[in-house]
Amino acid sequence: MYDIAIIGGGPGGYELAINAYNQGLSVLLIEQDKLGGVCLNSGCIPTKTLYQAASIYSMNGSAYGITCNNKIDYSKTIEYKDKIVFDLRKSIESSLKGIDLVSGVGDIIDKNHVQVNDNIYETKYIVIATGSKVIKIPGFEDDLYSYDILNLKELPKKLAIIGGGVIGIEMASIFSKLGVEVTVIEMSDRIIPNFDRDISKRLHSYLKNDNINFYLNSVAIKVKDKLIVKNDKGQFDIEYDKILVCVGRRANLSINNLDKLGIQYNNQGIIVDDNFRTSIRNIFAIGDVIGKNMLAHYAIYSGKQVLNTILAKEEQIDFGVVPSCVFSFPEVSMVGLSEVFLADKNIDYKVIKHLYRANGKAQAMNETDGYIKLLIKDDLIIGCSIIGYSSSILIHEVAIFIEQKIKISEIKNIIHAHPTLSELISEAIKDI
C-alpha cells in the first residue's frame, strides 16, 4: 500500500510527490502525458522563453547611442524554447528518484484504490491534480490555441487574438514585439479584467502605443475564412494570417467515478475545504482542477497544504496572498486585496501611487513607464498592483509585507539599496 497516490504530474503533482517522499512517505505519481503539465510544456516556461526573445529583439539602444539591425531566425528561437522545456523535464525526472512514476490515465476505483492501465494500486490517500483544459469556442475549433502558437516555426504577418485576458495579452505583447501585426478582440470593456482597473487601462494605453489593435466589448465570428468583429459601433472585417483563441481554461474533470464516489464538484471544479480535502476525507484535490486560482504556484502551495494536513502539521498557508503576474510589455503584477473587493465590503482604505519615472534606476535603464499602487489600511499594506519593468520581481517584497502584516511604520526602517527599482516601494510609503 502506498501512503499517497497523486493523479497528475504537473507542478502541483510532482512537487507534492517530491515533498512527500522527502518526508518519508511512499508515493505513486501518475501522469498520462508529459511531466511538468501545462506550465512546463505548453504554458509558463515556453511562453517566458519567447517573452525573453521578444524583449531582446525589440530592445531599443538608441537612447544610449547604440544602433543595430536586429534579425530573427524564429525557428532557432523555437529550438531554444524546446531545449529549455526538454532540459527542465529531464530535471524533474531526475528529482523523482524513489518515487514510483506510472504512465497512463489514473482512474479512482474507490477511496483507497486507483487504476492505471490494467493495474490497481492501493493507497491511504489520493490527490487529484489533473489540471485544466483550454476552453474551445464554436467555429474556431481548427484555429490556434495557446499550445499551438508556441510551436509555430514561422512568425505570422497578422495575428488575430480572441481574448484579452492574461494569456491573450502576453501573446499579443510577445508577437507584437517580434514584428507581427496583432489585433485583440475582447468581450469585456477592458483587457486583463481580473486585475486593477486603473492598471488595466494604463496597460491598454501602452499596448496601443505599441501598435496593437483592440476591439473591446466585442464578439468575434468566423464565416468560412472571414473573421468578423461585432460591437455597438458596427461590424468589422479583420485581416489575419492566423487566429489565436485565448478565452480561458476550465478544470479538467475527466476523472472516472467522481459521481459514483460522491466527490462533489460544480462548474468551476472539484469542491474542497481550506485544506484541499474533497467530500471524501482521504481524497484531496489541488491546483487548476478546483478552479479557484489557475496558477502554477497556487498548485504547488496547495500541495504543500495537503501534505501539512496528511502529516498533521498545524502550519496553515495564507492563500489570500497569492501574487499574480502578466508578462506583457511592461509587466503587470498584483497581490492582496483589490479595490473592487474593498468597495464591495465597504472597507475604508487609502490609495498611494508612485511613478517609475521618479526612480533613478528606472531612469538609468530607460524603463520609466508605469507605477506602483498600494492600498493602505490601519498602517498596513493590504493590496498592491504594479505596472512596470520587473514588476513580477517587485511584487514579492510587498507580498511578504502583506502576509506577515508588517506595519508601514516598520517598513520605513528597512534599508533599500540605491539605486534600485525596489526603492519604488520605500519611496511610495515615505510620506505616509
Residue 294 Cα distances to 197, 250, 341, 352, angstroms: 20, 9, 19, 29
Q: Would you state the cell numbers that stand for residue 385, as one nine-digit string?
A: 498592483
Assess contact for 238 and 183: CB atoms under 8 A.
Answer: yes
Rg (CA), the chain: 23
Distance CA 345, CA 283 (A): 34
Alpha helical stretches, state H, 311-380:
339-344, 360-365
Catalytic residue among 113, 204, 297, 418: 418
Closest CA to 22 of 90, 93, 99, 100: 99
- Residue carrying the nine cell digits 485576458: 165
Distance CA 420, CA 260 (A): 57
Assess contact for 339 and 353: CB atoms under 8 A.
Answer: no
The H or E element containing residue 227 is strand 226-231
Q: Is 418 a catalytic residue?
A: yes
Strand bridging mode 226-231 / 234-238: antiparallel
Distance CA 5, CA 367 (A): 48
The H or E element containing residue 311 is none
* The amino acid at 69: N
DSSP codes of every residue in 23-91: TT--EEEEESS-TTHHHHHHSHHHHHHHHHHHHHHT---GGGT--------HHHHHHHHHHHHHHHHHH
- Residue carrying the nine cell digits 520609466: 368
Q: Which residues are catalytic?
A: 418
